[in-house]
Amino acid sequence: MSARTRPRFLMCPPDYFRIEYEINPWMNKAVQNDRANSVAQWRGLKTLLEELGCEVAEVTPVEGLPDLVFTANAAMVFGNRAFISRFRHGARQGEEPIFADWFEQDGWDVIRLADDMSFEGAGDALFCGETLFAGYIFRSEVRAINWVADQIERRVIPLQLTSEQFYHLDTCFCPLSDESAIYYPPAFDQYAQAALRAHIPELIAVEKDEADRFACNAVVIDRHVVLNTGCPVLETQLRDRGYIPHATPLDEFLKSGGSAKCLTLRLNS
Ligand code: ARG
């Protein structure tokens, strides 16, 4: 795709978003999100993306599927192929046919993984340059990651995650360009940290307080970086390197273990 292609994202309005179950340490059914504020924060993110020149496509929300808002987990897209997620937890498996239908109707080549492999799409599989970096242990499995990498004939670097709070790769790692990325080192085992250092020339380490604000869960559009509020140190590091950070409040989604990146899926490159 040419550099001029308008960035296109998939999002899902938070009509039915709430904390209905607990599948990561951020989720606590006793700490519910505020409905009106969730809608306001989600709209703020969508508007910001549109102001940055992006097109936003929407999946229709479905009652009983509160995490459908986290479209990063819909699939991993590559060219015109959409590898639909196979969720680890039963609570999210109902999302699979909804996302598959959306991709079908949008004209994609829809690919389903075998039933016995879990894979959570762009939550765990991110390109930095030509290489696919994939997180495993909590949600996606190495077998699934290798299978997907085989299909697209790309080198994959599997990264073992170590902290339940950073259960998806996109909660602790964010490619900025072909040669640089943001990451939170303690979320990776020693081998994974070494692999990241070996393959990515410029790594920006995020500090704990900001990692806990989901600083790594950012949406990158050329030099623009959209992220949750409360990450001033990372914002400065980004500005020093010529990036333009845009902070937007997303606390309601943090209650479910998600932020800017989780709420979006980039559909083109
Ligand atoms: N509550 C959701 C879950 O636990 C949050 C998903 C966040 N998505 C992401 N790409 N990190 O699955």
Nearest protein CA to atom 1 of ligand 1, as residue: 256
168 lines ligand 1 (CB under 6 A): yes
Query: At 64, which helix (H) or strand (E)?
Result: none
- In the CATH scheme, what architecture does the domain 8-266 have? 5-stranded Propeller (3.75)
Q: Which tokens go with 212? A: 């806990």
pLDDT in tens, 60-100: 999 999 999 999 999 999 999 999 999 999 999 999 999 99
- What mean pLDDT do residues 113-131 have? 97
Helices (H) and strands (E) in the chain, counts: 8, 15
The Cα–Cα gap between 74 and 122 comes to 8
Say which of 12, 168, 174, 224 is annotated catalytic: 168
Instruction: Tell me which residue has tokens 């845009």.
Output: 246
Would the pLDDT of 1 be above 50? no
246 is catalytic: no
Neighbours of 155 (CB within 10 A): 10
pLDDT in tens, 214-231: 999 999 999 999 999 999
Query: At 218, which helix (H) or strand (E)?
Result: none
Q: Which residues pair with 266 in a beta bridge?
A: 9
- Which of 252, 258, 230, 217 has the alpha carbon at shortest distance from 39? 252
To test the ligand 1 pocket, which listed residue (12, 24, 28, 136) has its Cβ within 8 A of the most ligand atoms? 24
24 lines ligand 1 (CB under 6 A): yes
| Domain ranges for the chain | 8-266
224 is catalytic: no
With beta carbons less than 8 A apart as the criterion, state whether 222 and 3 touch: no
- What mean pLDDT do residues 246-265 have? 98
Query: What burial letters (b/e) apply to 113-124, b meaning 16+ CB within 10 Å?
Result: beeebbbbbbbb
